[in-house]
Amino acid sequence: MTTTTPTLATAPAAPSLVAGLGRLLWTEIKLVLREPVVLIFVFAFPAMTVLILGGVFGPNDPSFEGIDPSQWFVAAYIGVVIATTGLIMLPVHIAGYRHAGITRRFRVSRFPTWALPLTQFLLGLVMAAIGVIVLMVVAHFSYGIPPIENPTGTAAGAVLGALAFISIGVLLGSILPTPRSAQGLGMLMFFPSFLLGGGGPPPDAMGPAMRTLSSWTPLTHVIRSIQEPWLDLDTPTTHLAVTTGLLAASTAGWIVVARRDQT
């Protein structure tokens, strides 16, 4: 007598993580660029605001640590671009995907499990990079780009700050139930951070209470991590340490949430 054992059906090969990420990232960039409101907030808001504030203060205003205010703001607004991406664009985008069921659609696709959250993280970095380029172009044709005294330190501060705030954005988008709630909370977090963290009045122009609040604002540490090496104000050891802590905590947060959602 011959017995046969049923053979398990085999599935065709799935796309690799790298190939999947590349295709998905390109599609995501196209989709975000088709959303004019996103473009206005991430790209136009920091550029317009730096134009206005750079011209509000006189060149010898003593509140700017001896730096020309326009140069002080240009260096600071790299952080503002990062914050608009991390606190507003990404949370609304990701929460919108979850709310509409787009994330579920990806879960039953052949994309590797981690492709969507990783793509959204990379998308945030790409959008922040484009926002910084737009800001630099505007600065170049208006006040001029201030000379970068410590390029390595400045780049390290900008990259670390971007990673931290993009990570916060992915975390917020992963836990907030609707795009509206993400927008509400994002705005609530963004504007105080923006005004107290270096996008508004300089710390020297603030009263003691506001200055204390400013020192507790995460964006302050990101902006100082970029501004201090760029304008040779100081060595931002503490600011870099705080930003690294933010990155570690937020990354751990969204990885835990992503793993929970996938099981």
Q: Which stretch binds other proteins (CB under 8 A): 45-53, 108-116, 127-135, 160-168?
A: 108-116
Identity of the residue, 96 or 201, whose beta carbon is nearer to other proteins in the bound complex: 96
Beta carbon of residue 212, minimum distance to other proteins (angstroms, whole number): 43
- 26 vs 141 by CB, closer to other proteins: 26
Considering only 48, 102, 241, 249, the residue that binds other proteins (CB under 8 A) is: 102
Q: Which is nearer to other proteins, 10 or 60 (CB)?
A: 10
Smallest distance from other proteins to CB 26, Å: 9
Of the listed pieces 22-30, 118-126, 158-166, 233-241, which binds other proteins according to CB under 8 A? Answer: 22-30
Question: Token pair for residue 118?
Answer: 């990783």
Assess contact for 156 and 209: CB atoms under 8 A: no
Under rule CB under 8 A, residue 12 binds other proteins: yes
Examine residue 100 and tell whether it contacts other proteins (CB under 8 A): yes
- Map the footprint of other proteins across residues 215-244, applying CB under 8 A: none
Which of residues 6, 58, 207, 208 is near other proteins by CB under 8 A? 6
Identified binder of other proteins from the candidate list 56, 62, 107, 140, rule CB under 8 A: 107
Q: How far is the CB of 263 from other proteins (least distance, A)?
A: 6
Decide whether 52 or 108 has the Cβ nearer to other proteins. 108
254 binds other proteins (CB under 8 A): no
* Cα–Cα nearest to 244, from 211, 227, 221, 226: 221
Number of Cβ within a 10 Å radius of residue 62: 10
Tell me how far apart the alpha carbons of residues 189 and 163 are, in angstroms, rounded to a whole number: 17
Least distance between other proteins and beta carbon 261 (Å): 10
If DSSP states are collapsed to H, E and C, what string results for the chain? CCCCCCCCCCCCCCCCHHHHHHHHHHHHHHHHHCCHHHHHHHHHHHHHHHHHHHHHCCCCCHHHCCCCHHHHHHHHHHHHHHHHHHHHHHHHHHHHHHHHCHHHHHHCCCCCCCHHHHHHHHHHHHHHHHHHHHHHHHHHHCCCCCCCCCHHHHHHHHHHHHHHHHHHHHHHHHHCCCHHHHHHHHHHHHHHHHHHHCCCCCHHHCCHHHHHHHHHCHHHHHHHHHHHHHHCCCCCHHHHHHHHHHHHHHHHHHHHHHHHHCC
Of the residues 18, 55, 62, 105, which one makes contact with other proteins according to CB under 8 A: 105
Within residues 35-74, the interface with other proteins by CB under 8 A covers 35
CA distance 18 to 208: 50
- Interface residues for other proteins in 143-172 (CB under 8 A)? none
C-beta closer to other proteins: residue 12 or 58: 12
Contact residues for other proteins (CB under 8 A)? 4, 6, 8-15, 23-24, 27, 30-31, 34-35, 97, 100-102, 104-105, 107-111, 113, 263
